[in-house]
């Protein structure tokens, strides 16, 4: 028996085993990344759905939001608190989407949905009034991103009263 040949075959078998192991690990990592992305996407969608369901549970909440779009400062303190809670939740959704996107686990479509929703709210008169103090609820990096988004004038997005006419809000100039 030629020990050099056995040694060479053992080395080749070892290399093949390492390559197969690396391919398996790479496949597992890809699957894990897909799962993480899907989980992040589902978490954002679930939170938004849960939030919208909560709003719809009580018609008075919808009425307060309708009035809030026309002016945050015109609301009673209790109504302002409700709106503060609702608007903050939408901003938190955008904040999460921004961080998930930076981590590479948020699909562009999910991010865009969160961004559009926040911008629809913040571009109303009441949204602008809310933003005066609400901007301090989030991190500086996200606040700067939202400020950048608010300054964008020609993004092709119609105002809230056109997207959700049931809110009955009047147009507010952007700028």
pLDDT in tens, 26-75: 778 777 777 776 776 777 778 778 877 877 788 888 888 888 888 999 99
pLDDT in tens, 68-103: 888 999 999 999 999 998 888 888 888 888 888 888
Single pTM value for the model: 0.69
| Alpha-helix residue ranges (DSSP H) falling in the chain | 3-56, 59-70, 77-102, 108-122, 125-134, 140-151, 160-163
Is the pLDDT at 123 greater than 70, yes or no? yes
Is the pLDDT at 1 greater than 80, yes or no? no
In whole angstroms, what is the distance from residue 2 CA to residue 10 CA? 13
| Contact in structure between 40 and 105 (CB atoms under 8 Å) | yes
């Amino acid at each position: 028996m030629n020990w050099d040949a056995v040694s060479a075959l053992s080395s080749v078998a070892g290399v093949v085993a390492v390559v197969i192991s690396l391919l398996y690990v790479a496949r597992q990592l890809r699957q894990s990344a897909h799962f993480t992305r899907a989980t992040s996407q589902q978490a954002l969608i679930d939170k938004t759905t849960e939030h919208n369901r909560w709003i719809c549970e009580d018609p008075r909440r919808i009425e307060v939001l309708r009035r809030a779009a026309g002016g945050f400062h015109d609301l009673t303190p209790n109504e302002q608190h409700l709106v503060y809670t609702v608007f903050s939740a939408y901003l938190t959704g955008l904040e999460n989407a921004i961080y998930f996107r930076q981590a590479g686990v948020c699909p562009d479509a999910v991010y865009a949905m969160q961004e559009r929703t926040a911008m629809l709210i913040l571009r109303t008169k009441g949204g602008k009034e809310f933003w005066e103090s609400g901007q301090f609820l989030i991190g500086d990096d996200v606040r700067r991103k939202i400020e950048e988004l608010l300054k964008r004038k020609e993004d092709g997005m119609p105002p809230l009263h056109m997207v959700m006419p049931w809110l009955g809000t009047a147009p507010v100039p952007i700028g």
